[in-house]
Structure 1
Amino acid sequence: MEATGGDELEAVKKYFNTSGFERWNKIYGETDEVNKVQLDIRQGHAQTVDKVLKWFDEEGGLQGASVADCGCGTGSLAIPLALRGANVSASDISSSMASEAARRYEAAKGAEPKGNAVFEAKDLESVTGRYDTVTCIDVMIHYPQDKADAMISHLASLSDRRLVVSFAPKTPYYSVLKRIGELFPGPSKATRAYLHAEEDVEAALNRAGFKVTKREMTATSFYFSRLLEAVRS
């Protein structure tokens, strides 16, 4: 497989094991110690996760199904999937993120869990195995299109049936917003943000043998994410 990151991969890994972990752990947590922008991003990400869960619930759930959640962060999707009865193999490039996700899962699963979740510190291209469903939520924003194409190809090779991905869509409006944000860099902006044209992402899915069957868009004041579900064609 073509490397998915290069300099971006090392920058993302370093960021999410240091200052990035502290920032995003707060955003994806329940603490009130977040500013207006961080709270808005938390709410937007939660909406995206809820949409994924709704899709799965409407399709009959994932009881007993195998799921690979790649780029799991602090477990915002992997944990509810396991609580719904899925057997989840979750990974994140950041050992700090993976450890926090495991801690949150242990706190949430109860005495008789329905499913199971295992969390590992692993970059996406190192994930192996075959799974009924593969998910990768809000990860591609850290990588340019050629790296995202390689990511999609590898994710598809892991999936027997279904692939769910999200990305920041490249539109004239969002491109302007991104440019405005870049004019006011802050200390927490340690990695670049990349927008991706939906047709490019869909083309990569098609090349990998998958057909898009569902689409959703989540847009808040500071968070925007296009969500696609694709099935093996």
Structure 2
Amino acid sequence: MSYEVTRARVETYFDRTATQVWERLTSDAPVSRIRETVRKGRDAMRGRMLSALPVDMTGMRVLDAGCGAGPATVELARRGAEVVAVDISPSLVEIAERRLPDSLRDRVTFASGDMLSAHLGRFDHVFAMDSLIYYRASDIRDALAALRDRTRGSVVFTVAPRTRLLMAMWYAGKVFPRSDRSPVMIPHKSADLAETVSDIGQLRDLGRVASGFYISQALEFTP
């Protein structure tokens, strides 16, 4: 399945099918025990990824690629970065913009559309949490190549790790009800992905987060 086809499916899911689910999941509203494990896992992964970036990002321009409801956008702006927060779902971008503290508004530019669009400009770093988990290795390589050409520093991103536990849970369909289940993730082994991108840069393993029904692998790409 091509990048464009997968992107369209992801857009349909997040913008038309499960916006309310993700708005609630990314808030402090009560959720089911299953979704609470996902919430905790995502919070832990966000912290892990942020720890790979400078604490003081004053003067830096950062792309929050696939910003969703904006929790990472807030943290990046609090570090002093000029953040371009983009998501394929206009509905989620609206939520992120609504949630942004007034004190940070002059540091954030929101946009809806493809996170790889060249018109977004150049960056010091890219933060892409769970934005590439639905794509094949070749598509991830092409995405990193596109971002590399416009990024001075690192691209911090996540993939779905190839583990028996994750695949068993995913195909059992227990993460979300069928009506709002996301597109199927494509699992990757870090070593295989590192080989796929070796002609354009290097990958560094930032560790894995496993919290109930949330399992994700953090990686750092540098040219």
Question: Could you tell me the TM-score, scaled by structure 1's length?
Answer: 0.85
1:166 aligns with 2:158: yes
Q: C-alpha offsets along residues 155-176 of structure 1, whole Å, 9 cap, x if unaligned?
A: 2222111110111111334333
Quote the Cα distance in structure 1 between the aligned partners of 2:151 and 2:124.
6
Q: Output aligned runs, 1:197-212, within 5 Å.
A: 197-209=189-201, 211-212=202-203
Residue 81 to residue 102, structure 1, CA distance change in 2 (3 Å): same
Quote the Cα distance in structure 2 between the aligned partners of 1:25 and 1:142.
20
Q: Output aligned runs, 1:1-233, within 5 Å.
A: 5-32=3-30, 34-56=31-53, 59-105=54-100, 108-110=101-103, 113=104, 116-127=107-118, 128-181=120-173, 186-209=178-201, 211-232=202-223
The offset of 1:185, in angstroms, is 6.5
Q: What letter is aligned with 2:94?
A: S
Structure 1: gaps (5+ residues) = none
Quote the Cα distance in structure 2 between the aligned partners of 1:71 and 1:186.
23
Query: Kindly, what percent of the aligned residue pairs are identical?
Result: 25
Moved more, 37-46 or 141-150: 141-150
Size of the aligned set, in residue pairs, is: 221
Quote the Cα distance in structure 2 between the aligned partners of 1:24 and 1:102.
15
Quote the Cα distance in structure 1 between the aligned partners of 2:187 and 2:194.
14
Q: Is the 8 A contact 1:40 1:223 kept in 2?
A: yes
Give 3-state SS (helix, strand or coil) of 2:178's partner.
coil
Q: Is the 8 A contact 1:125 1:151 kept in 2?
A: yes
Q: Is the 8 A contact 1:137 1:166 kept in 2?
A: yes
Quote the Cα distance in structure 2 between the aligned partners of 1:31 and 1:143.
30
The offset of 1:147, in angstroms, is 2.4
Quote the Cα distance in structure 2 between the aligned partners of 1:85 and 1:5.
33
Q: Is the 8 A contact 2:64 2:128 kept in 1?
A: yes
Give 3-state SS (helix, strand or coil) of 2:209's partner.
strand
Structure 2: gaps (5+ residues) = none
- Over aligned residue pairs, what C-alpha RMSD do you find? 2.3
Q: Is the 8 A contact 2:66 2:86 kept in 1?
A: yes
Residue 149 to residue 230, structure 1, CA distance change in 2 (3 Å): closer
Question: Could you tell me the TM-score, scaled by structure 2's length?
Answer: 0.88
Q: Is the 8 A contact 2:13 2:180 kept in 1?
A: no
